[in-house]
Chains A and B, each alone.
Chain A
C-alpha cells in the first residue's frame, strides 16, 4: 500500500522569500504524484502532477516540484512567495496500475508574513 509523509505541519515564510515544502512517499512501483493547494474554506486545487519523464515539473502559480526516486521525495518549491500563497498544501500519491485511489499526506499549512 502507498503512503505519503509531509513532515512539516506548519511553515512560516516572509513574503518574497523562497519556499520548499517536503513530501516523501512510499510505493513499490512507479508512482503518480500530485500537489494540491487548499485555500481557507475551499476545495482542493491541483498545482502540478508527475507521471514520468522529466523529473522537474512546472505547475500553476509559479510552483515547481522535483521527483527524486532515490530519496522517494517530491518536494514543492517556489522561488518567491506572495501573500496569496498562504494556504494548506497536500501531497498525494496514486498507484500505477488500475487502482483509482489517491493517498494524501496530512498537509502543510503555509503562513506568509509581510
Chain B
C-alpha cells in the first residue's frame, strides 16, 4: 500500500511565523500535491510538483511556496503565516503516467494560526 506521511497531525503557530509542513511518500511517485480543505469549499489545490525541483501553481497559491529537493519529500511553506491560513492541509501523491492514476492522501495536518 502507498504510504503518504505528513509530519504533524496538529500544529499551532503565531501570525507572522514561517511555517513548514512536510510530506513524505514511499512509492517513488513522480507527482505530489498540496491541498487545503475548508468547510463548504471542499479541497482546493495549492501547488503540485511533477518532478524533483519542478512545481506548478494550483488554484490558490498566494501566501504559499513549496520545495521538492528529493523525490519522496514535498514541503509546503507559509512564508508569513496569517489567520486566514488556519485550515486542514492535505498532501497527496500519484504516479506520473496517465490521468487515470488515483491520488493517495496523507492523514492531514490541522494548522491553527493564532
Contacts and interface: CB of A to CB of B under 8 A. Distances in A.
B58 to A, nearest CB: 7
Nearest to B31: A100
Secondary structure dominating the interface of A:
loop
Contact of A32 (B41, B92, B99, B108): B99
Interface string B32-56: 0100000011111100101000000
Interface residues of B, number: 26
Given A43-B4, A90-B42, A106-B40, A101 B48 contact: yes
A65 to B, nearest CB: 14
Given A90-B42, A95-B99, A107-B42, A100 B94 contact: yes
A108 B58 CA distance: 23
Contacts of B31: 100
Contact of B102 (A42, A46, A105, A107): A46
Nearest to A98: B99
A104 B42 contact: yes
A102 B103 contact: yes
A46 B104 contact: yes
Contacts of A107: 42
A96 B99 contact: yes
Contacts of A102: 45, 103
Given A101-B58, A106-B41, A43 B90 contact: yes
B78 to A, nearest CB: 20
B100 interface: yes
- Closest CB pairs A-B (n = 4): A43-B105, A106-B42, A44-B105, A104-B43
Interface of B: 4, 9, 31, 33, 40-45, 48, 50, 58, 90, 92, 94, 96, 99-100, 102-108
Interface of A: 9, 32, 34, 36, 41-46, 49, 51, 90, 94-102, 104-107
